[in-house]
Structure 1
Amino acid sequence: MTKIFKLLTLLIPVVALMSCGKTATTIVSEKELTGKWQLESVVENNDTTYRPAVKNGMYDVSVTFKDKGELEATSSTNYLTGFYETAQLNAIHVGGDGTERKETSWGNLFVNALPQVNMYDLKSNNRLVLFYNNDSQLIFTRSR
């Protein structure tokens, strides 16, 4: 009986340590994503829509990935808040809520695509690509 007790007292802390925390990949990915990203173009069905000229802040579509999985976004005319969660192999899940009042077609592209995002790719030239609907992309540049 004492042998089993000793074995359990050694085994329980090891199992607890193995089951806690995130993988190194997730932590690194979140740090790389952290910051503000400006939407430059949207690709749907091999058709690319580029960002319209910014006038009085209008059409300034961006997403800010914050620490601890929080995000803030601005569409062409509205403000959104939510969360994001990354996993290994560049998987990402995004969710949140906001308004869609007086949204422009450019803003609608972003607002409708964001909840469908399931993968991301960070490029070496400060570009972020969020993939959705298997063949569509939101392409961002890092904001300064």
Structure 2
Amino acid sequence: MKNLIQRTVFVLSAIVTFSCGKTTTISSNLELTGTWKLESIVQESDTIKKPNPSKGAMDIVLNFKEKGELEGTTSTNFLTGFYETAQQNTIQIGGGGTERAETPWGNLFINALPNVNLYDLKTNQLVLYYENNNQMIFSRMQ
């Protein structure tokens, strides 16, 4: 009986998964997995470079973990959340953290992150696209 229930659940799960007509969602991307540091932001063709570190400010870092988990630091705070990739380099990022005493650089990042919808991986470089082809450009940390 237990075996029959397990098989039924498996078959129903497979039917729901493959009959929805949506793109297949991947919970994580092994090439994306790792730690990335924000180097610049491109908004409306203007490139904003990472400022020199101010006293007490951290680098802005995203750590894409396996199973879709996301951790990071803003200029003064920490964040946790999730990410989900799908076909054609689409990505969805969600989560949150505190926004106390953010720097202008940190605020640019925090305001852009929820709007990210595409990504591009190059050798040791990650570009996250948001709002009309604006970009956040990251370098891979070793």
The 2-side partners of 1:42 and 1:33 are apart by 19
Q: What residue identity is the alignment partner of 1:47?
A: D
Residue pair 2:78, 2:97 contacting (<8 A) in 1 also: yes
The 1-side partners of 2:54 and 2:46 are apart by 24
Q: How does 1:1-144 map to 2 (within 5 A)?
A: 16=14, 19=17, 26=26, 30-55=29-54, 58-123=57-122, 125-144=123-142
Q: Which runs of 4+ in 1 moved over 3 A?
A: 15-20
More helix by share: 1
Structure possessing the higher radius of gyration over alpha carbons? 1
Unaligned runs of 5+ in 2: 1-9
Unaligned runs of 5+ in 1: 1-11
The aligned length equals 128
- What does the per-residue CA deviation read over 1:95-139, in whole Å, with 9 as the maximum and x for residues that have no partner? 00111110000000111100000000001x210000000220000
The RMSD of aligned alpha carbons is 2.4
Q: What residue identity is the alignment partner of 1:54?
A: P
> Normalization by structure 2: what TM-score?
0.81
Q: What residue identity is the alignment partner of 1:127?
A: Q
> Normalization by structure 1: what TM-score?
0.80
